[in-house]
Structure 1
Amino acid sequence: MIKAVVFDFDGLTLDTESSWYESLKQVYTKYGVEFPEESFFQTVGTFDGDFKPYQFLSNALQGTPDSESLKEEVHAIFHDIMSQKQLREGILDYLESAKKLGLKIGLASSSTKSWVESYLRAYGIYEYYDCIHTSDDVSRVKPDPELYLLALRSLGVEGHEAVAFEDSLHGLHAAKAAGLYGVVVPNAVTHHLPFTTHDWKLASMADMSLAELIQQIEAASASIHQE
């Protein structure tokens, strides 16, 4: 029986990932340098990637501008884009439905606590969560399962009693490794990635109610155990 849901933040709750992608690409284009998309995609859902976009671009430009100046340019564009950004379609309905269904609600993010909580408060959804765990709380972020294992302990549930909602491969791998059911809801940046280990895939959380989704997951699980 499902007792809890755990949501990712960047790209799933609020699509910051597409905004970073667009911001970086604009600055790379400005300086006539091809944006290394594959390297960027490998960093989605984790902060442990080797790709350093500002240093990469600065090196391509022989150090002028330096990486810090390029970072400031990208961040200015990013914040302009984010000022007009809405929560991803369906996430608010899922949070409200989880409360009505009596489910515990967690958040597991590879970003910092200050980053995540500032947005949760700005969008008025901070109070929905029973636990919020970020990179500040663990030694290893996604795809390592540590964040999800910590969320399970905080919520007082087992992996098979919780559903994780993710938009990236790193996040999905982390959730599955921790024993949760994995629902993937790709965004504009991650929709082309080769998701194969998910239990369910949605183009949008508005496509299916949370109650129906949980019912489908529980039915599929029961069917497998009966075989």
Structure 2
Amino acid sequence: MLTALLFDLDGTLTDTDTLHLQAFRDLLHEYDGRALSQEAFEETISGQANAHLFAQLFPELSLADRQAMAERKEALFRDRSPTLKPLPGLLRLLEHARRVEMGLCVVTNAPRLNAEHMLRALGLEQAFAHVLVADELQRPKPDPLPYLTGLERLGAAAGQALAFEDSVPGVTAASAAGIYTVALSTTQSPERLLAAGAQLVIDDFNDPRLWALIEAHRQP
């Protein structure tokens, strides 16, 4: 029986990778004229937590300066996303979960300001019982801790939950937490997502295979 659904945010509730790519390109151009390809973004940036990512991008900077760069990038992203569209089928899934009283949680490597901004831009500020962000935990994805914490907050066992992810770090984290992981192919190829541990890859939340999975786990 399913009692909990745990969702990543970027690329899962809404397709934001193009906006993040543009924000990173603006930041790197401002800093040292560096270019960033779509391929490099998908391979090395998408889904990573900022602390690790900005240490890689700016090894010469102090910790405080890296944090300032991260805050600048996220401000650029928020400026580009005053409104956002949910992925097809998401509202249907959330309404179903509400109707059958499933617990709902966001588990994201994004900073809290971004998470709050995105949920507001989607009109989903009140949809989730908990919003867990990597900055407030000891370890971000790909470590399973964020998803284990989400299960704990919802009072659910891994076998009672589904996780929805779109990135390799996210899929790795959710599957390592023992949760059946459904990947959205918004940012990565199905092959990469399956290799990272996804058990089902879908284009959006209207996929009949997802609804068959949910139906198969209804309470007798």
When normalised by structure 1's length, the TM-score is 0.75
- Say whether 1:13 aligns with 2:13: yes
Q: Which residue of 1 aligns with 2:212?
A: 212
Q: 1:190 to 1:51 in 2, by over 3 A?
A: farther
1:130-152 Cα shifts (integer Å, max 9, x gaps): 22211243111000011101110
1:166-195 Cα shifts (integer Å, max 9, x gaps): 0011001100111111000021x3236612
| TM superposition shift of 1:163 | 0.2
Q: Which has the larger radius of gyration?
A: 1
| TM superposition shift of 1:207 | 2.5
Unmatched tracts of structure 1, length 5 or more: 60-66, 220-227
Question: Does structure 2 retain, via aligned residues, the 8 Å contact 1:7–1:166?
Answer: yes
1:155-170 aligned at under 5 Å gives the runs: 155-170=154-169
Q: Which residue of 2 aligns with 1:45?
A: 47
| TM superposition shift of 1:54 | 6.9
Q: Which residue of 1 aligns with 2:36?
A: 35
1:17-96 aligned at under 5 Å gives the runs: 17-25=17-25, 33-36=34-37, 37-38=39-40, 41-47=43-49, 48-50=51-53, 55=58, 78-79=77-78, 81-83=80-82, 85-96=84-95
1:100-119 aligned at under 5 Å gives the runs: 100-119=99-118
Paired residue secondary structure (2:206) = helix
Q: Distance in 1 between matches of 2:42 and 2:210?
A: 31
How many residues align structurally?
A: 209
| TM superposition shift of 1:53 | 8.4
- Say whether 1:4 aligns with 2:7: no
Unmatched tracts of structure 2, length 5 or more: none
Q: Which residue of 2 aligns with 1:223?
A: none
When normalised by structure 2's length, the TM-score is 0.77
Q: Distance in 1 between matches of 2:3 and 2:75?
A: 41
1:21-59 Cα shifts (integer Å, max 9, x gaps): 134346768987542533653232221544568749x99
Residue type of the alignment partner of 1:190: Q
Q: Which residue of 1 aligns with 2:119?
A: 120
